[in-house]
Each structure stands twice: as structure tokens, then as C-alpha cells.
Amino acid sequence: MPEQSTDLRETVRRRYAAAAVQVTEGGAACCGPQAVEVDENFGSTLYTADERGTLPAEAVAASLGCGNPTAVADLHEGERVLDLGSGGGIDVLLSARRVGPTGKAYGLDMTDEMLQLALANAEKAQVANVEFLKGTIEAIPLPGGTIDVVISNCVINLSTDKPAVFAETFRVLRPGGRLGISDVVADDTLTPAQRAERGDYVGCIAGALSFTEYREGLEAAGFTGVEITPTHPVADGMHSAVVRASKPLPVEGTAPTATSADPCCGVDACCTDAETSADPALTVTESKSAAGCACQG
């Protein structure tokens, strides 16, 4: 990775680590944790009062997104959902309740402090059908073809390698799977330099793609039915937007793509209720551990 990209990623990591620490350590016992300071275009106010009321105060306080992806992802009972850049877990917990006990919600984050906060929030919420993974959104630690829906809340703009994010998202989705995210998108007339003038990288502004760049990036990765709908302005010529797209079903007569039933991580049917160890002498957990698999659940 180029040095500038490495520096930007570390800057992003430090910013969100500090936000998690603020929520964890900065609250008053009588009133709950202090929310991370953001303007009216970002944060927990973009969720309904009913949604906020079902979650631990720490999950709500750590919300830093520009939308509410669970409101647009059209989640169904029994589906497997992956949240890219899951932070304190607000969207994972909401998704887990929507997909029910027969479904599962995964959260992926690169920041230890946010992962610790998310795990604590899941325990407080008494939500069992969740799993939080450490990793980057450019290299998702899950097998291909195992996820029904990918969501994300104002995180993809923070990546320094967006083509890799789109390619990895496409890989982990099953054929017919879909993308339903919130992100910051720039007017096509704005150059990268003009976007940077409107806000910094960690503030979700400078790294935003334009509408055309976003659409072309998703289509280059293989997505179809791309829809990008602005919801509210976040800066001059910059918008919070809902992005939807689908992974097409294979054309009849073509070879099927890999599915969760294929061997992976030392087990068969990885990340399904039917998973079994490929080595009868080992348990599923032992096989995954020996294979170095990130999907340990």
C-alpha cells in the first residue's frame, strides 16, 4: 500500500478509536454516555426514536454515520447481513433484530476500540445472532457467496482503495444478493481538490466519490441495477446518499459460483448451520483456528 494511503488509514483508525474511547469513558452514570460530537448531518439523529430506544445508549452515542442503511436495505427473516465499518454496532444490532434468530448479522471493523465497544453493546442488548470481525473493508475475512445483504454507513468514502472494497463486497455476496448503504457522494462537477476544500478525509468529505465515479466503480465490480439517491446535503455540492445495487444471478447454463457449501477455512459449508470439520479428528473451531480463518463463529 502506498505510504500516503497507509498514513490516511492510520489517521482514520486513530479518529475512530478516540471516538470509541470517548463513548466508553466519557459518560456520566446518571445520563448515559456522551455522544460523539458531529453536526446535524451525521449521527444518531438519523435514526428513529423507536430504533434508538431499543439499543444500548453506548451504541447510539457512537453513531457517526450519514444515514440509516437498515431503513433502506429491506432486510428479511433468516438473511445474513454484513456491515462494513460497523463501529459501535448500531446497524449490526438493528439488522440482527430484523433478520431474527434464523438470520445473522456480521460487523467488520479495523479498530480494536470500536470492536470492544460493539461486543459490549451486543451483550447489553442481549442480541445473540451477531458476530464482529476484525479486518479491513478492502479484504473482507469471509468466504465468497455467503452474504445476502451488505450494508454500510458512511464508511466506503474513508477507504483509500474503493475498487477493492467494491470487488470484495461483490465477492462475499451470494448471487442475487444486494447492497444497501449510506455514503457521502459528490456532485460530478466537483474535482477531488474541490471536495477536499469542503472537508477533511476523516470527516467523510475529501475521500467521497462523485455520483458517476460511484456508479462506474460498482458496475466495474460486476454490480447491476445501481441506484444512487441523495437524501440530504452535508456540504456544498456534497450529499448523503442511499446506494443500492445487486449481484446478478448466473446466466442459465453457466458454471455456478462458489457458495457457502464449498470447503473453506478447514470446514465444509462454512458460515452455515450445517458446517462440519473437513478433518474428522478436529472440531469445527479447531479446524478454523488451524486454517487461520477469520470467520470463527
Task: State the Cα–Cα distance between residues 177 and 224, nearest whole angstrom.
Answer: 11
pLDDT tens for the 297 residues of the chain, in order = 555 566 666 666 566 656 655 655 664 333 344 443 444 544 445 555 556 555 544 554 544 555 566 666 789 999 999 999 988 888 898 899 889 999 999 999 988 888 988 898 888 888 899 999 999 999 999 999 999 999 998 889 889 899 999 999 999 999 999 999 989 999 999 999 999 998 876 777 888 999 999 999 999 999 999 999 998 898 999 998 999 999 999 887 655 444 444 446 666 666 665 566 666 666 667 666 666 565 555
CA proximity to 80, closest of 154, 150, 170, 182: 150
Q: Which amino acid is at 255?
A: A
Task: State the Cα–Cα distance between residues 243 and 230, nearest whole angstrom.
Answer: 9
Contact 157, 132 (CB under 8 A): no
What is the pLDDT at residue 273?
A: 55
What is the pLDDT at residue 73?
A: 76
What is the pLDDT at residue 282?
A: 66
Residue 105 DSSP SS3: strand
Give me the long-range contacts of 43-48 (CB less than 8 A, separation at least 24): 44/90, 47/90, 47/94
Helix (H) or strand (E) holding 181: strand 173-186
Task: State the Cα–Cα distance between residues 267 and 265, nearest whole angstrom.
Answer: 6
H runs (alpha helix) in the chain: 3-25, 49-53, 57-61, 90-99, 112-125, 162-172, 192-197, 211-221, 284-291
Which grid coordinates belong to 153?
Answer: 454507513
Instruction: Enumerate helices (H) and strands (E) in the chain, giving the number of each.
Output: 9, 10
How far, in whole angstroms, is CA 297 from its chain's centroid? 18
